[in-house]
Amino acid sequence: MSEYGLQLREKQKAKFIYGVLEKPFRNYYAKAERMSGMVGENLLAMLECRLDNVLFRAGFGRTRRETRQIVDHKHVLVNGKCVNIPSYLVKAGDVITIKEKVKDSQRYKDILEVTGGRLVPEWLEADQENLTATVKQVPTREMIDVPVNEMLIVELYSK
């Protein structure tokens, strides 16, 4: 496979893992370029801080698609305010909770049964009983365990 093919495959893999389409992914890349530090690490940190991904990491959904739907259905509060945008970027110190009126539904009991043993990353603090999560810090590359070589993505976009 050509070098371009490897770079493209890596980008497609990242897009698929996080469930992001081409245009928003390109926008994340442009934003990561403007930030200080390594572009690839900034890109992965931004993708990791998406609200749908944070809920997935906290164990409030079996898949990222399911957490995306949970956000769309207005079941999520960030710092006490209702947020229904899955791409909302959370910051360090943000508290994410599931609304009181849906906490006791069978859906969340089933989800917690499946995701109960899932490891929560160190940059996130999750309380499974109360369905709350706190972002302790923005994740660094060492804390992100996705099998993506971000340098290939940077090489692809920097052409």
CATH number of the domain where residue 146 is located: 3.10.290.10
Grade residue 128 by pLDDT with cuts at 50, 70 and 90.
Answer: confident
Quote the domain boundaries for residue 88.
3-157
Residue 114 tokens, joined: 């499946």
Measured in whole angstroms, how far is the alpha carbon of residue 40 from the centre of its chain?
15
Look up the pTM and report it.
0.90
Task: Tell me what pLDDT residue 129 has.
Answer: 85
Q: Which tens digit of pLDDT belongs to each residue from 72-119? A: 999 999 999 999 999 999 999 999 999 999 988 998 889 988 988 788
SS3 of 72-128: HCCCEEECCEECCCCCCECCCCCEEEECHHHHCCHHHHHHHHHHCCCCCCCCEEEEC
* Angstrom distance (rounded) from CA 103 to CA 114: 16
How many domains does the structure of the chain reveal? 1
The residue whose two tokens read 């999750």 is 126
